[in-house]
Structure 1
Amino acid sequence: MTREPKQDRSRATRLRLLESTIDCLAELGWAATTVGVVAERAGVSRGATQHHFPTREDLITAALDFMFDSRMERARKETPDVPPGSARTEAVVSRLVEQYTGNLFNAALQVWTAAAADPALRERLLPLEERFGRVAHKEAVEQLGADDSDPVVHRMVQATLDLARGLGLADVLTDDSARRREIVRHWAAQLDTVLEDARSRRAADPLAR
């Protein structure tokens, strides 16, 4: 039987630990997500866990980085396969909102809450969140086919992301999906009007072509 190369085993172990950290954060909360609990859930010895992540802070920070990459990868894969227009705008807004639900968002929420009272954790978290914000904005612009150089469009795209996060928070305690769908529909209509106005302004301006 061919043995799995050591480097591949190490990568697989690291991935199990990161995935288990996210699951623990989402299901058990910040305080209960200890190195020991994560190691047990991942089926990895405590010593092997600390070989990859010497401290709890190292483990949590790496998990946040992993969450960022996972959220962005999901966003890229979920680009709506629909033609430009109001249907596309609503599909994009709906998928942006859905990115702020589920395990990844719930895990991130636990860390945000802890960071509010922990300056050291906040210092680690802010650069990751700033990077996520920039990339999320860029992905939203590309999915919408929007002109981000237009200041009105730029603000509306950012407001869409802020709205998505707020709706995600509202969904944490109760199933808010019915109200969320209605809000998405109305917001998408307003956003589509802004996008169409921006396209019209650009078409009417010879210097913008």
Structure 2
Amino acid sequence: MAVVTAPKQDRSRATRQRLLEAAVACLAEHGWAGSTVSVVAERAGVSRGAAQHHFPTREDLFTAAVEYVAEERSSALRALPVQSRAAVVEALVDLYTGPLFRAALHLWVAASNAPHEEQLRARVTELEARVGRETHRIAVELLGADESLPGVRETVQGLLDMARGLGLANLLTDDAARRGRVVAQWGRLLEEALG
């Protein structure tokens, strides 16, 4: 009986995917200091050499991981069915209080430690600007917001900033009860503000 093996390109793609998922998990659980290429490679079940084949530097690996996180966040938002504005607020907050945001946050903190991480800082800053624009655009669509009206753009951005703040608060304590009340209030405020 012949054993059929996956083409080399498919195996390479699968290895890259495992590395990105492992990098996100490591950042979320251990932060920047505890997330080395070796730790990620071990978690992904590949050799350090295989990891460095796909991502030559630690910065390459973790920047790609945050880009992966951003794409996952955008995909999750785009996949939301058209719902009430309150449900959109809740979905946005869920994204910012989950492990994908936690991983991105650890990378932001590491990137802020300039001058030691100047290259990482430049890459993360550019990536987050792009992700911020995309998230804002998707939020506008999901909310059915008309940004040609005065204050609407700022209202949507305020929602995203609030969701990010709730994500930060969630790092230290389980803030689910208070967060639920805040999210409900934001849903009501958006209905009034956006009409």
- Coarse TM-score class (shorter-chain normalised): over 0.9
Q: Secondary structure at the match of 1:194?
A: helix
Measured in 2, the distance between the counterparts of 1:67 and 1:128 equals 11
Unaligned runs of 5+ in 2: none
The counterpart of 1:32, out of the listed 34, 42, 48, is 34
List structure 1 runs of 4+ shifted beyond 3 angstroms: none
Q: What residue number does 2:49 align with? A: 47
Which residue of 1 is the match for residue 58 of structure 2? 56
Query: Among residues 93, 96, 99, which one is paired with 2:95 in the alignment?
Result: 99
Corresponding residue to 1:65 among 60, 64, 67:
67
Q: Percent identity?
A: 56
Note the residue ranges of structure 1 that are not aligned, 5 or more in a row: 83-87, 197-209
Superposition TM-score, scaled by structure 1 size = 0.88
SS of residue matched to 2:192? helix
How far the C-alpha of 1:90 sits from its partner, in A, is: 0.7
Residue 111 (structure 2) aligned to one of 89, 112, 115: 115
Distance 2:150 2:4 in 1: 58
TM-score (structure 2 length as normaliser): 0.94
What displacement does 1:70 show? Answer: 0.7
**Number of aligned residue pairs:** 190
2:150 is aligned to 151
Residue 188 of structure 2 is aligned to residue 189 of structure 1: yes
1:169 corresponding residue in structure 2: 168
- In 1, distance between residues paired with 2:55 and 2:186? 43
Report the alpha carbon displacement of residue 19 of structure 1 after superposing the two structures with TM. Answer: 0.3
Q: Deviations over 1:103-153 (max 9, x none)?
A: 101111111111111322111101110011111011001101110222311
Larger Rg: 1
